[in-house]
């Protein structure tokens, strides 16, 4: 399981069929990771949606991570879990998940949070919001060079999040980010599959240019 390329995060949708339709399109477009995040759903709806998404991600051979809810991640046998700063103890989550599952942590704009997360068992770290975000309008805004510093310090995947579009993603990719986490620019696009493909193309183009330069 890899954390690379487009890391799609689900929007808050009560309609499970609509959610699955959009996610299938994103996976068809090449999303390499999916995180299930629904801050407004009931526990029963979260379970229903997470189970359906796990089946869909299995079909596409894409890892599904559950946002915040460790018990739900275990219940649906998801590929892993993502924890925000106030959403649970990373070491305790790692102990319950075991070594074979993915565990990501939000580190906002702080390298020291990343150090603690990695020491506690996180295997990938996320920074942001790098740009203005409608999902979290008051989020802290780290400098882009934080990605480069984090990549030098930690030998694990670094994810960027927050207001990322095909127009501003190239500067994050150039800084060395492994994946860009996106909600709106993918799932509210008129053509979800095409939007996902555009992000994936940015990564592939960057890697091709690097290969030719070597």
Tokens of 181: 């986490």
Contact assessment for residue 65 and residue 33, using Cβ atoms and an 8 Å cutoff: yes
> Whose structure tokens read 């150039």?
174
Which of the residues are catalytic?
Answer: 37, 106, 136
Residue 115, classified by CB atoms within 10 Å of its CB into exposed (0-12), middle (13-18) or buried (19+), is middle
Residue 82: CA count within 13 A, CB half-sphere? 25
Tell me the average pLDDT of the chain: 95
- Is the model's pLDDT at 69 over the cut of 90? yes
What pLDDT, in 10s, does the model give residues 115-149?
999 999 999 999 999 998 777 777 789 999 999 99
Nearest to 65 by CA among 20, 28, 32: 32
pLDDT in tens, 33-67: 999 999 999 999 999 999 999 999 999 999 999 99
Lowest mean pLDDT: which of 14-28, 133-147, 161-175?
Answer: 133-147
Distance CA 46, CA 42 (A): 6
Q: What is the pTM of this model?
A: 0.95
Report, in this order, helix, strand and coil percent for the chain, each rounded to 5: 45, 15, 40
Do the beta carbons of residue 90 and residue 114 sit within 8 Å?
A: no
């Amino acid at each position: 399981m890899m954390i690379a390329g487009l890391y799609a995060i689900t929007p808050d949708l009560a309609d499970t069929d609509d959610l699955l339709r959009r996610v299938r399109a994103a996976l068809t477009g090449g999303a390499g990771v999916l995180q299930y995040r629904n801050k407004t759903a009931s526990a029963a709806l979260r379970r229903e949606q997470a189970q359906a998404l796990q089946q869909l991600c299995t079909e596409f051979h894409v890892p599904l991570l559950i946002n915040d809810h460790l018990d739900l991640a275990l219940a649906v046998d998801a590929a892993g879990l993502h924890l925000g700063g106030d959403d649970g103890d990373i070491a305790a989550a790692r102990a319950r998940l075991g070594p074979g599952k993915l565990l990501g942590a939000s580190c906002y704009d702080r390298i020291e949070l990343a150090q603690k997360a990695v020491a506690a068992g996180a295997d990938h770290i996320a920074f942001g919001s790098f740009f203005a975000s409608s999902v979290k309008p008051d989020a802290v805004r780290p400098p882009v060079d934080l990605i480069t510093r984090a990549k030098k310090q930690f030998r694990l995947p670094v994810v960027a999040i927050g207001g990322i579009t095909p127009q501003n993603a190239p500067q994050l990719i150039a800084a060395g980010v492994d994946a860009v986490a996106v909600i709106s620019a993918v799932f509210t696009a008129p053509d979800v599959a095409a939007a996902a493909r555009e992000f994936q193309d940015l990564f592939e183009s960057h890697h091709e240019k690097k290969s030719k330069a070597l």
